[in-house]
Amino acid sequence: MVRRGSRAIAYIALGSNLNQPYQRLCQALNYIRWHVGEIRGLSDVVVSSPWDGSRQPPYFNLVAEVETLLTPMALLAMLQDIEKEMGRPVARPRWSARPIDLDILLYGEEVILLSALRVPHPGLYWRPFVLVPLLQVAPDLKDPVTGVPLKYFPGNNRDVLRTVVRASSLWTELRRSGQPERLGSSFSSPLFGES
Ligand code: ADP
Ligand code: MG
Quick one: pLDDT at residue 1?
Answer: 38
Structural domain contains residue 189: no
Nearest CA to ligand 1 atom 25: 103
Quick one: pLDDT at residue 56?
Answer: 82
Structural domain contains residue 195: no
Instruction: Give pTM, 2 decimals.
Output: 0.90
Domain holding 23, by residue range, is: 3-176
Quick one: pLDDT at residue 3?
Answer: 55
Q: Which of 36, 61, 76 to mutate to test the pocket of ligand 1 (most atoms within 8 A of CB)?
A: 76
Compute the distance between CA of residue 3 and CA of residue 80 in angstroms, rounded to an integer. 15
Helix axes 167-176, 21-35, angle to 10 degrees: 60
Compute the distance between CA of residue 70 and CA of residue 58 in angstroms, rounded to an integer. 32
> Number of folded domains in the chain?
1
Structural domain contains residue 183: no
Quick one: pLDDT at residue 192?
Answer: 45
- Assign residue 160 the CATH number of its domain: 3.30.70.560
Compute the distance between CA of residue 107 and CA of residue 10 in angstroms, rounded to an integer. 4
Structural domain contains residue 78: yes
Structural domain contains residue 20: yes
101 an active-site residue?
yes
Quick one: pLDDT at residue 151?
Answer: 98
Quick one: pLDDT at residue 194?
Answer: 40
Structural domain contains residue 10: yes
Closest ligand 1 atom, residue 105 Cα:
23
Verify whether ligand 1 is closer than 6 Å to residue 29 (CB atom).
no
4 an active-site residue?
no
Structural domain contains residue 92: yes
Compute the distance between CA of residue 6 and CA of residue 147 in angstroms, rounded to an integer. 23
88 an active-site residue?
yes
Verify whether ligand 1 is closer than 6 Å to residue 121 (CB atom).
yes
Q: Which residues of the chain, if any, have pLDDT below 50?
A: 1, 190, 192-195
